[in-house]
Amino acid sequence: MKYYILFGPPGAGKGTQASSMVEKFNLCHLSTGELLRSEIAAGSELGLKAKALIEAGALVPDEVVEGMIESKFKSVKGVDGFLLDGFPRTIAQAKALDEMLAKTGESVTSVVSIMIPDEMIMERIRHRASIEGRADDAKEEVVANRIKTYHDKTEPLIGFYTETGRYNEIDGVGTIEEVRERIFDLMSKY
Ligand code: ADP
């Protein structure tokens, strides 16, 4: 199985690119953000706990997302691999992922990182807010907190994956098609 990590700041276009990536490479798209939003919509206990954190622009506890991911690894069949979107988001989650995969002698195939400049993040999220109506996109201070959380907790993963030679960066500035081509070229090498 292939395990690709789709990495990048909020608004980099991960969700947009994910659909063509899963189709081309027969992967299962696992977005922790989407999984959490469906728990919230279903009104589950987990959803209730996650809601306040997400709407404050904070992260939900590592164990929660790790559990969701591991159960999908066990239950999803008929694919050539997984596209992890929004996970891992902390060094602890990255280490937990390595341990999960090591149980079956597997490892992360490659990190595909979509990078855009900071000033573009706000602009893209403002645009998405007007289309998708996500609660955590609506307030500027929540978006600012998500960007801060990204810099503090998630950006250190770049060093973590660079050290083990699994980190690959893509320029996220350009049309959807241009960025998609860059991603496909990269993924085809693994
Ligand atoms: P974004 O567009 O900001 O990348 P996502 O849809 O990936 O947003 O995630 C939305 C929110 O869900 C995050 O701000 C966070 O609160 C929560 N979340 C998603 N993935 C994780 C994770 N791996 N660890 C902790 N919290 C997460």
**pLDDT of the residue at 71:** 95
- Average pLDDT in the chain: 95
pLDDT 10s digits, 70-85: 999 999 999 999 999 9
pTM over 0.85: yes
Q: What is the set of active-site residues? A: 14, 89, 128, 134, 146
Q: Ligand 1: which atom is nearest the Cα of residue 85?
A: 7
Distance (Å, whole) CA 143 – CA 132 = 15
Q: 31, 124, 127, 136: which to mutate for ligand 1, most atoms within 8 A of CB?
A: 136
Report the nearest-CA residue for atom 18 of ligand 1. 33
Report the nearest-CA residue for atom 12 of ligand 1. 33
Q: Which residues line ligand 1 (CB under 6 A)?
A: 10, 32-33, 36, 53-54, 58-60, 65, 86-87, 89, 93, 136, 146
Q: Quick check: 19 pLDDT over 90?
A: yes
Which of 126-156 are b and which e, b meaning 16 or more Cβ less than 10 Å from the residue's Cβ? eebbeeeeeebbeeeebbeebbebbeebbee
Q: Ligand 1: which atom is nearest the Cα of residue 11?
A: 2
Residue type, 5: I
Distances in Å between the alpha carbon of 150 and those of 29, 41, 50, 96, 183? Answer: 21, 25, 17, 19, 22
Q: 135 alpha carbon to ligand 1 midpoint, in Å?
A: 12
Q: Quick check: 114 pLDDT over 90?
A: yes
